[in-house]
Amino acid sequence: MHMYSVTEQMVAWLLAHGYDAYTRPPKDAPHSPTHFVTVERTGGRVADMVDHPTVAVQTWAPTDDEAESMANEVRLLALTVAPPIGVYSMGVNAGPYQFFDESTRCPRYQIVLDITSQLTD
């Protein structure tokens, strides 16, 4: 039995919708002026062979305005477009809110999604 990866599916879904998406910031970023999105599972629960992950989606950009704008776009995408394969529902738990990265000094915004998805492939 293979476990379903909600982060991999969310990254693929964001890539399909035109975003540079990763599970971790690329090695050259955020030192280069670029726009990208990271997806990270931050918690959740499993019940009756259904996964209920909490996922943080972070938008990175050269300016706060651009990072916030991307976060608003991703939030709207999550609420209005068909979810990735294996995801039954997505709801916005929080955000977007400023989540500035002190270590890199890069503007970043975050939204938190509550997802219901399959547990296994």
CATH number, residue 64: 3.30.2000.10
Pairing relation of β-strands 36-47 and 87-98?
A: unpaired
Cα separation, 5 vs 41, whole angstroms: 10
Residue 58 lies in a domain: yes
Range of the domain at 47: 6-118
Q: How far, CA to CA in Å, does 63 sit from each of 26, 27, 92?
A: 18, 19, 23
Residue range 1-54, pLDDT digits in tens: 788 999 999 999 999 999 999 999 887 765 566 899 999 999 999 998 899 999
The pTM (predicted TM-score) of the whole model is 0.92
Q: How many domains does the chain have?
A: 1
